Chain A
């Protein structure tokens, strides 16, 4: 199970951190992704962290977002800086099966960036 927290409202240029608490499997042994969905729009992949700790980002967030994990607490985080109105979206964490698909998703958490 993936339980998300940390969404909310922030002004443009601000920062926010999302969390994803995982139970049933270990984040340290799995790839974990973040996916977002702007209101009324489709899914957009944001970031992934591999089991070895390597991270990758969509071009739209590179340099502004940082994905990390806390192995001891089995949680995934997404630090978001320099937020823009176009970052407004529902953000989902998901278990990412190696270089393939996402088979388990969190419930989502809404981020609203006001200009």
Chain B
């Protein structure tokens, strides 16, 4: 189980941090997705802190112990979306998603 805060609010230009907690995070890579309303998810961060081409540097990922964190710097109105963490449960060969965090830009 991956636990995320249901919602995070931030003012434009500020920094938002979204956490993902789970007992199996320490031994697995964590990935992050952004999902805007009515759209399919988009890969944002993979292998804890790598960014696919085309993703702005404002988006970064980190991991410490059993917590992974997605950080969004200089938040813009267009960043308002749902964000999901995900990892591969190697024991059961299943992919696991966090519950999602709704980012609101004030």
Contacts and interface: CB of A to CB of B under 8 A. Distances in A.
B41 A105 contact: yes
Interface of A: 33, 35, 42-45, 48, 56, 58, 92, 96-97, 99-103, 105-108
B40 A105 contact: yes
A108 B41 CA distance: 10
**Consensus secondary structure, chain A interface:** strand
Contacts of A108: 40
Given A43-B84, A100-B31, A48 B46 contact: no
B105 interface: no
30 contacts: A35-B41, A35-B95, A35-B97, A42-B99, A42-B100, A43-B35, A43-B41, A43-B84, A43-B97, A43-B100, A44-B97, A45-B86, A45-B95, A45-B96, A48-B93, A48-B95, A56-B93, A56-B94, A58-B94, A92-B40, A97-B46, A99-B88, A100-B31, A100-B47, A101-B86, A102-B41, A102-B95, A105-B41, A107-B40, A108-B40
Interface in B66-106: 82, 84, 86, 88, 90, 93-100
B95 A96 contact: yes
A43 B82 CA distance: 10
Contact of A42 (B46, B47, B84): B84
A108 B35 CA distance: 12
Nearest to B4: A42
B43 A101 contact: yes
